[in-house]
Amino acid sequence: MGIKILKNKIPFIITLFCCVTVAALAASVRASDSAKAAQTSAAGSPKQVIVLDAGHGGMDSGCVAINGAYEKDINLDIVKDLGALLTLNGYEVVYTRTEDISIHDDGVEGIRNQKISDMKNRLAIVETYPDSVFISVHQNLFTDPAYFGGQMFYTTNNSANFKLARIMQELFSELQPGNDREVKLIDNGLYLFKNTKQPALLIECGFLSNPDDAANLNTAEYRKKVAFTIFSGLQNYFGEEEKSKENTEIGEAESFLYMQ
Ligand SMILES: [Zn+2]
């Protein structure tokens, strides 16, 4: 059996290896807990808001690449490039973090508690912007270094999620020749995604266990390409949303005429 066939058969729990720990640690967090204020006000914003989440940070490095790079740094760099592109193009961007930090509350002791507080505060930021699109950027890891390429993970919390995932996956396949991964449903209750109601996407940009992905993601140039890919995916998504809205309106007008 070729690698091509095997690739799509990696058990979900393993493909999300680096995130599962976070999910387990954060499982006991209650969504109703008091929220840390987000970085900007959402009130009355005429712009489309995009909430960008660079996975991990601070004491939580995420995956460690075979070349020694930390996932948290790659995530942040991509998110910053992506945020700059979005801002330049008229979006309002909200970040869960812009530095190498965990965003846990002051005074919280112990890594586990800090991680729970960090996840709770990330969700609070997401929930501050109910009309936003939420994008969380991560890197993957697997025991077999042959596995490579970005993969999109989504929930059924919002009907737009599959569309967003599909559009994004297609563009990652263009960026990464040979990447024929399929979008995957998040079914194990990742804390942030389980509680997110607006359109949301978890992007695993590549495998830090794969020599090519790891080498690419270790360069600023490639990370910029990844950022541009995500930006293009969002643009295409909003384009499709606009088109389907227009089609609905035309459909309504036609049925109105028919009724006359
Ligand atoms: Zn991660």
In this structure, the strands spanning 151-154 and 200-207 are: antiparallel
Asked whether residue 11 is domain-assigned, the answer is no
Which pLDDT score is estimated for 187? 80
Distance 149 CA to ligand 1 centre (A): 15
Residues with a beta carbon under 5 angstroms from ion ligand 1: 18-19, 55, 62, 138
Distance 255 CA to ligand 1 centre (A): 48
Residue 57 has φ and ψ, to the nearest 5°, of 130, 150
Give the domain extent around 161: 18-31+46-259
Picking from 143, 101, 96, the residue whose alpha carbon sits closest to that of residue 121 is 96
Asked whether residue 37 is domain-assigned, the answer is no
Distance 138 CA to ligand 1 centre (A): 4
Say whether pTM exceeds 0.95. no
Asked whether residue 102 is domain-assigned, the answer is yes
pLDDT values of the chain reduced to their tens digit, one per residue, 260 residues: 343 434 444 444 445 555 544 444 443 343 333 333 344 444 554 799 999 999 999 999 999 999 999 999 999 999 999 999 999 999 999 999 999 999 999 999 999 999 999 999 999 999 999 999 999 999 999 999 999 999 999 999 999 999 999 999 999 999 999 999 999 999 877 899 999 999 999 999 999 999 999 999 999 999 999 999 999 999 999 999 988 888 877 666 655 555 54
Which pLDDT score is estimated for 55? 98
Distance 241 CA to ligand 1 centre (A): 29
Asked whether residue 10 is domain-assigned, the answer is no
Order across the sheet with 92-95: list the strands.
92-95, 49-54, 133-140, 200-207, 151-154, 184-185
Cα–Cα separations (whole angstroms), residue 96 to 43, 44, 183, 224, 251: 18, 20, 24, 19, 40
Which pLDDT score is estimated for 182? 97
What ranges make up the beta strands (E) of 155-192?
184-185
In this structure, the strands spanning 49-54 and 92-95 are: parallel
3-state secondary structure of 8: coil
Distance 40 CA to ligand 1 centre (A): 25
d(CA 194, CA 29): 12
Which CATH number fits the domain that encloses residue 146? 3.40.630.40
Query: Number of structural domains, the chain?
Result: 1
Q: Which two tokens stand for residue 171?
A: 């563009």
Distance 155 CA to ligand 1 centre (A): 17
d(CA 140, CA 150): 8
Distance 174 CA to ligand 1 centre (A): 23
Asked whether residue 40 is domain-assigned, the answer is no
Whether residue 199 contacts residue 152, with contact meaning beta carbons closer than 8 Å, is answered with no
3-state secondary structure of 123: helix
Residue with tokens 């460690």: 64
Asked whether residue 3 is domain-assigned, the answer is no
